[in-house]
């Protein structure tokens, strides 16, 4: 990993400026490295605007370059609905939505380019047709636009919060009430740029409604229905963790391993997606059943309840 010691004449400069000069890259590129967690000061996470001091050691671990455009790959897709304007999918857990450093191939976008021959160029080379995204570990319903007009119409609905989204989540903990709402701004974690947090000065407003579906008293777990009112990065995971209800299997905001449940990812599923069709002005609603791993976890929790 390349490292650079800050000289006296560079003291007081912003971290992104110092990194750009030391590594010979643009300031925008240096800022991306910092935002994505690929740069550190004195072995600690830093911010682009952080001021460096003489003697500081600035480390950079640049991500692998991403191809200029995604390529088509024959990856199977679970299609719930498709027409000339859009395709609705049931994304499996473990599938990254679009190419990024560390995931140049094998993404949902690569699969879509193979499935839809005319998708390339809709909305951008690396994110063609992508209206919204789900985290790699989250399963469930997604909609993809097939042309620019459909993309613009669907994106406008997201911006106006005219989208129905319902999630299912298995959490550790037992809320006292049957329903509730979490309203707290979310922004980048002040010390870990790969995480989101409520402890930030530049958070964006975020709200999540929740309701109890099933309580598993013996295991101290709860199945929740979640209705996000906004769409911030990691919103559901951050909000639930902040309420003392971390999602089972979440390695970032909870704990990766849950004894006896064999969850290799956060137990979060996008169960329902509703929107207005971009051409027909018809309201549409799609549901994706819980995948096998979450069904198995629920079955194990039910078994424990019966044995209590």
Q: Catalytic residues, which ones?
A: 135
- Distance from C-alpha of 265 to C-alpha of 89, rounded to nearest angstrom: 19
What tokens were used for 237? 């995971």
Taking each helix axis from N to C end, the angle separating 15-23 and 27-35, rounded to the nearest 10 degrees, works out to: 120
Assign residue 239 a region: left if phi > 0, alpha if psi is -120 to 50, beta otherwise?
A: alpha
Collapse the DSSP code of 258 into the 3-class scheme (helix H, G, I; strand E, B; otherwise coil) and give the result. coil
Q: Three-state SS for 210?
A: strand
Cα separation, 221 vs 108, in Å, equals 32
Query: How far is Cα of residue 165 from the mean position of the Cα atoms in its chain?
Result: 15
Cβ contact 136:87 at 8 Å: no
Using CB atoms within 10 A of its CB, is residue 70 exposed (0-12), middle (13-18) or buried (19+)? buried
List % helix, strand, coil for the chain (3-state, nearest 5). 20, 30, 50
């Amino acid at each position: 990993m390349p490292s650079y010691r800050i000289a006296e004449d560079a003291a007081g400069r912003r971290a992104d400026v110092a990194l750009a000069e030391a590594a010979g890259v643009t300031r925008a590129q240096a800022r991306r490295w910092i935002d994505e967690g690929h740069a550190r000061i004195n072995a600690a996470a830093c911010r682009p605007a952080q001021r460096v001091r003489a003697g500081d050691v600035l480390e950079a671990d640049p991500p692998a370059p991403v191809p200029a455009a995604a390529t088509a790959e024959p990856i199977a897709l679970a299609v719930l609905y498709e027409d000339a304007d859009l395709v609705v999918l049931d994304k499996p857990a473990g599938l990254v939505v679009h190419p990024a450093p560390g995931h140049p191939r094998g993404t949902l976008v690569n699969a879509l380019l193979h499935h839809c021959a005319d998708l390339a160029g809709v909305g951008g080379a690396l994110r063609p047709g992508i209206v919204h995204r789900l985290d790699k570990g989250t399963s469930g319903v997604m909609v993809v636009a097939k042309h620019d007009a459909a993309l613009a119409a669907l994106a406008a609905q997201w911006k106006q919060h005219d989208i129905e989204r319902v999630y299912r989540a298995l959490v550790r903990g037992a809320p006292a009430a049957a329903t509730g709402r979490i309203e707290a701004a979310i922004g980048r974690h002040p010390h870990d740029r790969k995480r989101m947090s409520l402890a930030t000065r530049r958070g964006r407003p975020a709200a999540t409604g929740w309701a109890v579906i099933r309580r598993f008293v013996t295991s101290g777990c709860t199945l929740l229905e979640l209705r996000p009112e906004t769409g911030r990065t990691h919103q559901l995971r951050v909000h639930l963790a902040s309420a003392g209800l971390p999602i089972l299997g979440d390695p970032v905001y909870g704990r990766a391993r849950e004894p006896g449940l064999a969850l290799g990812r956060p137990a979060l599923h996008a169960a329902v997606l509703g929107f207005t069709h971009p051409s027909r002005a018809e309201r549409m609603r799609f549901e994706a059943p819980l995948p096998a791993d979450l069904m198995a976890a629920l079955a194990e929790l039910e078994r424990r309840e019966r044995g209590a």
